[in-house]
Copies of this chain bind each other. A is one copy, B any other.
Amino acid sequence: MDIAELGQKILNRDRRALARAITLVESQRSDHRKQAGELISELAKHRRQALRIGLSGTPGVGKSTFIESFGLMLTAQGLRVAVLAVDPSSARSGGSILGDKTRMERLSRDPNAFIRPSPSQTHLGGVARRTREAVALCEAADFDVVLIETVGVGQSETVVAEISDLFLLLLAPAGGDELQGVKRGIMEIADVILVNKADGDLKAAATRTCADYSGALRLLRKRPQDPQGFPKALMVSALEDQGLAVAWDEMQKLNDWRREQGCWDQRRADQAQYWFHEELRQAVLSQLNSPEAQSEIQHLALQVADGSLSSATAADLALTRLNIKTG
């Protein structure tokens, strides 16, 4: 594959080239990894930037409908929109979010939209790097907005938040005390909570749910990088195209404020450093992932669990037996 040519095509907004490049960064073959690295470095020189919007929500909250309606609203304004998915669960469940493009039939046919389904087999450790590189490719292909969707399994929200400029949490209306299973820290990550399905019979429930989350958000620590009133909860109906323009206004308001305050560039720089340190950490920790190390560790963990070895003693034993140097 001619990497220089591929890069030039991406810069020229060639969608086929973009799709091929994303397949390349998803590959685990070492020659592909090397080519992907070259491509990303080359494209980075052009410093094109999109607005990266992370979007999380459990199945059933209407993510596909939201992405389609929201995406079509943006393309109608002349913006070019790319949609990517982070789905670490797909390897297990066999299914994949965005896997069925027909769920977003109109958006997928829009010439100003690009939808990339989640790969059906996902090597968990590589999710973050692969997604970051796919986002970088979409930016090089001159998209204005990159939507990064996650179902919020495991650490995927943290991954997406550390790649995004803005983070949206999509919720469904809930009755009274019904639990929504909002995960640890998610309200701290979210910039805007959108209560979807604020239509028909669910409208009253959506109003109550939105008020509940507005109240809960007020109890959280204010983030110094945000203007008054953020993070905030809003109601939308993706089905009836209600509230989407207001939500987009609020996102832009927050984004403009951060750009003016310099928080935006700082956040990007912080994220790059975060991923650098994270790549380093993961690489160093991979010393504990060999089959030999895993077998030793599991053996010792049983003795720790039944109380016959202390955590500290077991750790010392493992390091000695595995001949791992420490600092």
Q: For the complex, what is the distance from the CA of A307 to the CA of B144, rounded to whole Å? A: 20
CB distance from A23 to the nearest CB of B (A): 18
Q: Contact: A315 with B185, CB < 8 Å?
A: no
Separation of A310 and B284 alpha carbons in the complex (Å)? 18
Digitize A205-220: 1 where CB-to-B-CB distance is under 8 Å, 0 elsewhere.
0000000110110111
CB distance from A57 to the nearest CB of B (A): 15
Q: Is A239 an interface residue (CB 8 A)?
A: no
Pair B283/A319 contact, Cβ less than 8 Å: yes
* CB neighbours of A183 from chain B (8 A): 188, 221
CB of A47 within 8 Å of the partner chain = yes
B182 x A307 contact (CB < 8 A): no
In residues 288-311 of chain A, which contact B (Cβ within 8 Å)?
Answer: 288-290, 293, 297, 300-301, 304-307, 310-311
- Which of B182, B288, B310, B327 interacts with A289 by CB under 8 Å? B327
Inter-chain contact A310/B41, CB cutoff 8 Å: yes
Give the residue among A41, A270, A285, A311 with the most B Cβ atoms within 10 A. A311
Residues of B within 8 A of A179 (CB): 218-222
For A221, the chain B residues whose CB sits under 8 A away are: 179-183
Most interface-central of A132, A213, A219, A222 (chain B CB within 10 A): A219
Q: Is A269 an interface residue (CB 8 A)?
A: yes
Which B residues touch A315, using CB under 8 A? 276, 279-280, 283
Name A residues whose Cβ lies closer than 8 Å to a Cβ of B.
37, 40-41, 44, 47, 129, 132-133, 177, 179-185, 188, 212-213, 215-216, 218-222, 269-270, 272-273, 275-281, 283-290, 293, 297, 300-301, 304-307, 310-315, 318-319, 324-327
